[in-house]
Amino acid sequence: MVDTATPPATRDDGPHRLFGMDRRRFLQVTGTAGLGLTAASAVPLGARLLAPTAAAAAALTPAERVERWTTSTCQFCATGCGLQIGTTAGEPVMVRGNPDHPVNQGLLCQKSLHQAEVVRAEGRLGDPQLRDADGELSAVGWDRAFDELVGRLRAVIDEHGPQAVAIYNTGQLLQEEFYTLSKLARGAIKTPNLDGNPRLCMASAVTGYQRSFGSDGPPNAYADLAETDLVYLTGANLHEAHPILGGRLMARLQEGGCKLIVADPRAVQFTRLADLYLPIRPGTDVALLNAMQHVVIRDGLVDRAYLDAHTTGYDEVAALVADWTPQRAAEVCGVPAADIETAGRWFGEANATTSLWTMGINQQTQGVAAVNQMCNLHLMTGQVGRPGAGPFSLTGQPSSMDFRQAGGGGSLPGYRSLAKPEHRQQIADAWGIELEDLPEAPVAAHRIWEGIEAGDIRFLWVIGTNPAVTFPDTRWATEVLRNVETLVVQDVFETETTELADLVLPAAMWGEKAGTFTNSERRVNVLRQAVQPYGRARSDFDIFVEVGRRLGFAEMFPFATTEDAFDEFKALTEGRPCDLRGITYDRLEAEHGLQWPVPDTASPGTPRLYTEGRFNTEDGRAVLHAMDYVPPLEAPDASYPFWLNTGRVQEHWHTMTKTGRMPSVLKRSPENYVEVNPDDARRLGIRSGDRVRLRSRRGQMEVPARVTAKVAPGSLFVPMHFGPKFGSRPVNDLTGRFFDELSFQPALKHTAAALELL
C-alpha cells in the first residue's frame, strides 16, 4: 500500500540516501558531530548493522541468529522511531531500525540500539511484593496483591470518599493503557486526583496550544525540517534528547537548506551550527519573544491578510510589544540588541519558519507565556499550517501524547476538557456514569502531594514513574511518599520509589505487550508483542482491567486485548481533533504509522494541522495573547549566586532504570557531575575532577566538577538522571516548588544555587 501520508521528501529517499542526503555522507556528518546514530542497512543489502563502535557491535547477537523479527517502536523518546525486535528461543536478543519507517529510515540512536538487553536485566520486578509486619517487602501472589489493593482502595473510599485516592502516572504507558486507566480512575474509582509526570514535562505546551489554537496537538510534521527556511531552536537540546531529529536537521543545514537560530543559555552542540546564537539569561524568553514581535511589527513584516482572516487578539499584542524594544529586551536577556533585531527580521522575512522547543521553554514559570509568544510570531507572519512552518513542541516521553489524547491526566479521552459540561456529558454517557462523577477541574501533581501532606489523600498509586528522583524538591516529595497511608507502586524495575511502597506491582515492559504510541508529529505507531512478560509480571493493561473488575465494574472493562480498548477509545474520538477512527493495528504496521486525524480507513492521515487556517476555537480563529515578561520566581542572589540548569545527556534515560543497565552505555556516562564555567572555576579554585558541593534553599549534593565553557559564567548544569541507585543524590533535592501559574508545570530549569570546593 502506498503511504500517501508520508511526504515526498522522505518517501523518495532510496536505499542510498538518508533524509535527502547521500547515505554515507549523512552517517559521516552525524557521526562526526557525535550524534551516535546507527543504521540498519536497507533491506536489499541484508540485515546487517553498521554499529558505531566495536563495543556496541560485540554486545549484539549477530542478526543472522535472530529467529523472528517483531514490529515495534522505540520505548525511549517521542521521536517515535520504527524498529524491529529480534528474538531467539522466545527471548529478546537485539533490535534494528526499520529502514521503511519514515521517521528514522532505519537509524537508531545509541541507547535505543541496546534496549533488548534490558528486558531481562537484573532488578526487573518478577513478583508482586507486600510490606509485611516487620516492614520488609516480600513476594506475594497476584491474588493476594489484588486483594490488598482493592481492599485498601475500598476501605479508603468507604471511609473518606474517592477524593482520598490519587493516581500519579506517566508518559510511558501504551495509549490503550492510558484509556483504560482513565476509565478506571474517573469512571470506576471516581477520583478527581489523576495526573502524571507529563505535568513536569508537557503541561506548558498543552496549555499554550489550547490557548492559541483552541486545542492541544503539535501542528507540524517532521518532514517540515526538510522544507523549512529557518529553524528557531529554543530550550531544546536536540543532540542529546532527540538525536534522530538532530540528524535530520543537521542534514538540512549541511545542504545549506535553511538558517538556524538557537536561543538557549547553555551552548549546546547545535549552537555551533547556528547562524545566530542567542545565549539568553535563564528564564527571559518572554522578553526576547516580545522584542522579536516588536521588530516584526515595526518593520512591516506582519501578514495582515492572514491575521484578519484567521486570528483575534493582534491589537492587544501590538500595544504590549510596542514597549519591548530590542534595547530593552537586550538588557533583560543579556544578548546584543542587534542580534534580537536580526532574529526578529529573519523570522518575519522567512517564507517558512519552524520553531522547535522542549523543556527549556516548558519548565519555566512563564512556560505558557513563552509558548503563546512563539505561536503569536507564527500567526502574525502567517507561518502556520504550511509546509516547513509552524510552532512545534517536541514531546519527550514515548507516549506523553497518548497520555494527553486518551485522558491519562487532567483531560478526558479524545482531548475533552473537564471544564466543559458537554465534554463531561459525552464521556459520562459513553461510560454509563453520572455527570457529577466527573470533576470540573484537573488536579495538578503537586496538589496531590499537598493533599497527602494535608491528610486529605490517603491512598496513592504511582505507575511508571520514579518521583523519588524526578519530582521537584525531592527530599520533601519523598517524605510525603513515606507518610501516605498506602503507597502502591507499579513499575518494571526496582527503583528509589518502589522501595518506599507498601505494595509493589511488577509490570510487563516494552516488548512484552502490544499497543500504540503516538509521537511528536501525531504519528500513531504500533508495538507488537515480541516476548512473554518476565517472571510473573503482568501488563499495566491487565492490571487495570483486573482492578476494575474486582472493584465491581466488570461491565466497564469487557476488553480481552489492548486492541479492544483501542477500538472503544477510537470510537470516542469521532469529530475530535485527534480522530483515530481510521486506524487499525494492521494499518499501522503496513503503513509505518499514521498521523492523526485519520477519520476513516481510506484516510492516509494528516501531516499538518490548520492548513485551511481554521482552528479549534469556537469561532475557528486562533488567538494571539498579549503577555508581559515576569522574572523567574527564584533568581541568584548573594547567598545562592548561581543559576542551576538541569537536563539530559544522550546516553541516559531519566532515572536510568534502563540505561543504567546497559553496560556499554553506562561506561560512556558512568557518574554524575556539575558543569562549571572556566571563569567561575578559576575564581573558586576548582579544576575538572575536583569534588564540589552544590547547595540550594532545599538541599545539597556533592559531585565532581567539569570545567567547560558550555555553561555561561554564573551558570551550572547537572544531569537530571543520577539518583541514589546510581551513586548520587538527585539534583531535584535542590530544585524548588515554583510553578507556571497557568499550567502548574514546575520550573525545573531555574534554581538559585551555591557552589563550593570540598
Ligand X SMILES: Nc1nc2c(c(=O)[nH]1)N[C@H]1C(S)=C(S)[C@@H](COP(=O)(O)OP(=O)(O)OC[C@H]3O[C@@H](n4cnc5c(=O)[nH]c(N)nc54)[C@H](O)[C@@H]3O)O[C@H]1N2
Q: x/- contact string, 91-120, with ligand SF4 (CB under 6 A)?
A: -------------x---xx-xx--------
81 contacts ligand SF4 (rule: CB under 6 A) = yes
Of the candidate residues 93, 244, 263, 487, the single one contacting ligand X (CB under 6 A): 263
d(CA 510, CA 197): 19
Of the candidate residues 49, 145, 230, 244, the single one contacting ligand SF4 (CB under 6 A): 244
722 contacts ligand SF4 (rule: CB under 6 A) = no
Of the candidate residues 6, 10, 71, 79, the single one contacting ligand SF4 (CB under 6 A): 79
CB nearer to ligand SF4: pick between 248 and 447: 248
**Which one of the spans 20-28, 88-96, 279-287, 313-321 is the region binding ligand X (CB under 6 A)?**
279-287
Q: How far is CA 651 from the centre of its chain?
A: 16
Q: How far is the CB of 71 from ligand SF4 (least distance, A)?
A: 15
Any bridge partners for residue 756, and if so which? 693
Any bridge partners for residue 622, and if so which? 311
Residue 359 to residues 199, 214, 646, Cα–Cα distance (Å): 12, 22, 10
Q: Are 184 and 565 in contact (CB under 8 A)?
A: no
CB nearer to ligand SF4: pick between 111 and 576: 111
The grid coordinates listed for 626 are 498579549
Which residues within the stretch 228-257 sit at the binding site for ligand X (CB under 6 A)? 234-237, 240-242
77 contacts ligand SF4 (rule: CB under 6 A) = yes
Q: Which residue has the cell 525545573?
A: 748
Choosing among ligand X, Mo ion, ligand SF4, none, which partner's interface includes residue 241 (Cβ < 5 to 8 Å by kind)?
ligand X
The grid coordinates listed for 254 are 549541511
**Which one of the spans 146-154, 169-177, 310-318, 676-684 is the region binding ligand X (CB under 6 A)?**
169-177
Residue 441 to residues 118, 219, 546, 573, Cα–Cα distance (Å): 39, 26, 28, 21
**Which one of the spans 213-221, 239-247, 351-359, 706-714 is the region binding ligand SF4 (CB under 6 A)?**
239-247
Q: How far is the CB of 608 from Mo ion (least distance, A)?
A: 24
**Would you call 502 helix, strand, or coil by DSSP?**
coil
Q: How far is the CB of 626 from ligand X (least distance, A)?
A: 20
Q: How far is the CB of 70 from ligand SF4 (least distance, A)?
A: 16
413-426 b/e (C-beta count within 10 Å ≥ 16 → b): bbbbbbeeeebbeb
Q: What is the identity of the amino acid at 415?
A: Y
Positive or negative torsion for Cα 338, 343, 348, 349: positive
d(CA 403, CA 492): 19
211 contacts ligand SF4 (rule: CB under 6 A) = no
Q: Which long-range contacts (CB under 8 A, 24 or more apart) does 423-430 make?
A: 426/572, 427/186, 427/187, 427/572, 430/572
**Which one of the spans 96-104, 241-249, 393-401, 530-538 is the region binding Mo ion (CB under 5 A)?**
393-401
Choosing among ligand X, ligand SF4, Mo ion, none, which partner's interface includes residue 413 (Cβ < 5 to 8 Å by kind)?
none
Q: x/- contact string, 310-329, with ligand X (CB under 6 A)?
A: --------------------
The grid coordinates listed for 553 are 465494574
Q: How far is the CB of 749 from Mo ion (least distance, A)?
A: 12
491 contacts ligand X (rule: CB under 6 A) = yes
Q: What is the identity of the amino acid at 301?
A: L
Q: Which residue has the cell 499497543?
A: 515
Pick the closest to residue 373 from 328, 313, 327, 330 (CA basis). Answer: 313
Q: Which residue has the cell 503539535?
A: 218
703-724 b/e (C-beta count within 10 Å ≥ 16 → b): bebbbbeebbeebbbbbbbbbe
Q: Which residue has the cell 487495570?
A: 544
**Which one of the spans 199-207, 542-550, 594-602, 625-633 is the region binding Mo ion (CB under 5 A)?**
199-207
Q: How far is the CB of 119 from ligand SF4 (least distance, A)?
A: 15
Q: How far is the CB of 110 from ligand SF4 (least distance, A)?
A: 8
Q: Are 584 and 605 in contact (CB under 8 A)?
A: no
Of the candidate residues 397, 616, 664, 745, the single one contacting ligand X (CB under 6 A): 397
**Which one of the spans 73-81, 491-499, 537-545, 572-580 is the region binding ligand SF4 (CB under 6 A)?**
73-81
Tell me the site size for ligand SF4, rule CB under 6 A: 14
Opening angle at CA 323, ends 348 and 310, nearest 5: 45
Q: What is the identity of the amino acid at 639?
A: S
396 contacts Mo ion (rule: CB under 5 A) = yes
Choosing among ligand X, ligand SF4, Mo ion, none, which partner's interface includes residue 81 (Cβ < 5 to 8 Å by kind)?
ligand SF4
Pick the closest to residue 442 from 197, 743, 737, 218 (CA basis). Answer: 743
Q: How far is the CB of 319 from ligand X (least distance, A)?
A: 25
Which residues within the stretch 489-548 sit at the binding site for Mo ion (CB under 5 A)? none
456-467 b/e (C-beta count within 10 Å ≥ 16 → b): bbbbbbbbbbbb
**Which one of the spans 7-15, 200-208, 251-259, 284-292 is the region binding Mo ion (CB under 5 A)?**
200-208
**Would you call 739 helix, strand, or coil by DSSP?**
strand
Tell me the site size for ligand X, rule CB under 6 A: 61
197 contacts ligand X (rule: CB under 6 A) = yes
Q: Are 289 and 377 in contact (CB under 8 A)?
A: yes
Instruction: Tally the C-alpha atoms within 13 A of residue 236's C-alpha that lie toward its C-beta.
Output: 22
**Maximum alpha-carbon separation in the chain:** 73
645 contacts ligand X (rule: CB under 6 A) = yes
Q: How far is CA 538 from the centre of its chain?
A: 25
**Which one of the spans 75-83, 152-160, 494-502, 744-752 is the region binding ligand SF4 (CB under 6 A)?**
75-83
Of the candidate residues 106, 246, 283, 410, the single one contacting ligand X (CB under 6 A): 283
Q: Give the chain's length.
A: 758
Any bridge partners for residue 526, and if so which? 516
Q: How far is the CB of 76 from ligand X (least distance, A)?
A: 6
Q: Are 507 and 128 in contact (CB under 8 A)?
A: no
Q: How far is the CB of 65 from Mo ion (least distance, A)?
A: 36
Task: By CB under 6 A, name the binding residues for ligand SF4.
Answer: 74, 76-77, 79-81, 104, 108-109, 111-112, 242-244
Task: By CB under 6 A, name the binding residues for ligand X.
Answer: 77, 170-173, 197, 200-201, 234-237, 240-242, 263-266, 268, 282-283, 285, 358-361, 363-364, 396-397, 463-467, 470, 490-493, 495, 507, 509, 540, 645-648, 650, 652-655, 657, 720, 731-732, 735, 748-749
Task: By CB under 5 A, name the binding residues for Mo ion.
Answer: 201, 396
